[in-house]
Chain A
Amino acid sequence: MIAFLIRCYPSSWRARYGDEFAALLEERPVGPFDVADILLGALDARRRSRGHAATLSSGRGFTMSLRIGGIAAILAGILWATSLVLASGTILEVDGIVTGLLLVAGAVTLLVALAGLSAFQARAHPLLSWVAFAVPAAGAVVSLVGVAGMTFVGDRPMVGDLSPWYIWVFGTLTVFLGSGLFAIVTYRTAALSRIAAITLGVGSVAVTLAVLIGAVGGVPEAIGIVLTLAGVVSFLVGWCALGVDAIRLDRISAAPRPA
């Protein structure tokens, strides 16, 4: 009787659940209610198995976005931290073109990372996740406009009285604030590592504070330097840790399940 009921299910379902389902049915007597329930379940499984190939394909697309987002998050963290340190000119003097290229690469990879990881997190919190995507993504685009302006317009006003440098600073600050927002959403959804989210959040707040302190003044320079360094390192570690966690999750999702 049990074997007959299980044979009513499609073969793909039997391959995945058949053994454990049989074990469950053997644990208690199967009455008329159970027979009707199982037959309805088999009907449901057959109806759903028609769309199985499509489901698998969309699931694969989802893990791909997680992997790409993870790799991009690691690259974005490294590129942003490196380009900010080089732009400050405190450790190493390099050609402005090199810094500009790094800034552009950082902004582009950050956009890819945000899109990939947000697609993953949006499964649990769609609205919050896409707001957390929109703010830093807008910042990255504005900072790209600023970098392009610095290359082609120079120090002349670009938008109103604002020079490209101010536009870049505004975009970069939005990236940091948006990364903080992204960290809060990541912490809330717990879809990725919460420790990584806290690290990214601390980095984002520290760098934003350092920039604001620098702009307002009245605070010892040493405090600004320590805040900036701690913030950039924390920002770098936070994005890299989120990226590593995303890749780890992708590997788990992509691993073949035992039948």
Chain B
Amino acid sequence: MSLSDGPKHGYAIMQDVERGTGRPMGAGTLYAALARLEERGIIEALPPEDRRRPYRLTAIGATNLAEQLHRLSRFAQMGLRQLGETSP
């Protein structure tokens, strides 16, 4: 999700995730995720800037992300609705 507003390199992604979740993110976790996402065609690497390489979402990745977010939003709305119905 961090790449949804444009390309970012690893350090910027880590900062973004940490800001969003309030939890630290390890470099090992980040690069395991980057390698998997790149392999699946969800993200792609851009030419390196100095030694840092930015990544961006591919078209398939953006579509996948939008779908996941919509699904999550529908699920959350359903939960809230049920909670409202069952709450005293």
A interface with B by C-beta (< 8 Å): 13, 16-17, 19-25, 27-28, 33-34, 36-42, 44-45, 48, 55, 59, 123-125, 188-191, 257-258
Chain B stretch 37-84: residues in CB contact (< 8 A) with chain A = 39-41, 45, 47-48, 50-53, 59-60, 62-64
Task: Kindly list chain B residues whose C-beta atoms are within 8 Å of the C-beta of A191.
Answer: 59-60, 63
Residue of B nearest to A125 (CB): B63
Is A39 touching B50 in the complex (CB atoms < 8 A)? no
Q: How far is the CB of B11 from chain A (nearest CB, A)?
A: 5
Task: Kindly list chain A residues whose C-beta atoms are within 8 Å of the C-beta of B29.
Answer: 37, 40-41
Residue of B nearest to A44 (CB): B32
Chosen A-B contacts, 7 in total, with CB atoms closer than 8 Å, are: A23-B52, A24-B14, A24-B52, A41-B27, A42-B28, A44-B28, A59-B39
Q: Does chain A have a CB within 8 A of B35? A: yes
Q: How far is the CB of A5 from chain B (nearest CB, A)?
A: 9
Is A24 touching B26 in the complex (CB atoms < 8 A)? no
Q: How far is the CB of A131 from chain B (nearest CB, A)?
A: 17
Task: Kindly list chain B residues whose C-beta atoms are within 8 Å of the C-beta of A42.
Answer: 28
Residue of B nearest to A30 (CB): B27
